[in-house]
């Protein structure tokens, strides 16, 4: 039976609308992909530029402080854990800057080791210094041990376990109840390079999306 002309026109209209909708969805998909690719490229560029700026600062500081601090790279050696009962310090170099007191802003390079003489962490890496850490919010024995130092000074600090990581320990090289030793070099507080606001927003959105 032949389809009435009016019905055929209706079918064609429906087909055209569906076709337009499909093409529109396809174009939206393409544009969405292009926008996503552009955003990704922009974020990648910002990340690289930020990292280059951080690396440049790290190198500048390393060039300045590595020759002196690296002399202590071979200092770590085994010690008797039971001998470390209180925080004790030995000045290896008296600094020429401001004295470290409670609340004093400073940055630091360090070498830390356990009673076996095993270095569990340090600022020295591949013939250079990594970015210095900021003073504050460190183990209690460190904060106690650096007081009285002067900026640009170097000190060896022995810390009993209760003022280090205590009964919890920290990783395989700092078992529970382990006293520690550090060599610390304090330098003027280094201004942290902040990532661009847009990059921070991206990181925050990524973090939120994983919650």
CA torsion sign, 103 to 106 to 107 to 109? Answer: negative
Token couple for 139: 């183990």
Angle at 65 between CA 59 and CA 66, to 5 degrees: 75
Look at 19 and 139; give whichever has higher pLDDT. 139
- What HEC string does 48-75 produce? HHHHHHHHHHHHHHHHHHHHHHHHHCCC
All structural domains of the chain, each given as residue ranges with its CATH number in brackets, are 1-191 (3.10.50.40)
Alpha helix (H) residue ranges in 3-111: 5-69
pLDDT digits (tens, 9 = 90+) for 116-153: 999 999 999 999 999 999 998 789 999 999 999 999 99
Quote the pLDDT of residue 210. Answer: 61
Q: What percent of the chain has pLDDT over 90?
A: 63
Q: What percent of the chain has pLDDT over 70?
A: 80
Helix (H, G, I), strand (E, B) or coil at 106: strand
The whole model's pTM is what?
Answer: 0.76
Contact 112, 139 (CB under 8 A): no
- DSSP per-residue letters across 168-199: T--STTS-TT--EEEEEEEEEPPPPPPPPHHH
pLDDT grade for 201, boundaries at 50, 70 and 90 = confident
């Amino acid at each position: 039976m032949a389809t009435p002309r009016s019905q055929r026109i209706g079918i064609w209209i429906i087909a055209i609308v569906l076709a337009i909708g499909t093409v529109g969805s396809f174009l939206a998909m393409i544009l969405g992909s292009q926008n996503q690719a552009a955003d990704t490229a922009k974020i990648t560029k910002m990340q690289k530029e930020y990292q280059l700026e951080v690396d440049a600062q790290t190198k500048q500081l390393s060039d300045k402080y590595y020759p002196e601090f690296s002399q202590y790279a071979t200092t770590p050696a085994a010690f008797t854990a039971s001998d470390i009962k209180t925080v004790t310090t030995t000045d290896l170099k008296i600094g020429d800057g401001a004295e470290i007191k409670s609340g004093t802003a400073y940055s630091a390079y360090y070498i830390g080791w356990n009673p076996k003489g095993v270095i569990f962490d340090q600022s020295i890496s591949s013939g250079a210094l990594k970015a210095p850490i900021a003073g504050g919010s460190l183990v209690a024995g460190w904060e106690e041990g650096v007081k009285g130092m002067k900026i640009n000074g170097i000190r060896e600090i022995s810390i009993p376990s209760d003022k280090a990581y205590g009964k919890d320990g920290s990783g395989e090289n700092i078992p529970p109840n382990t006293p520690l030793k550090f060599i610390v070099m304090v330098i003027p507080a280094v201004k942290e390079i902040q990532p661009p606001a847009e990059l921070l927003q991206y990181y925050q959105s990524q973090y939120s999306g994983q919650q």
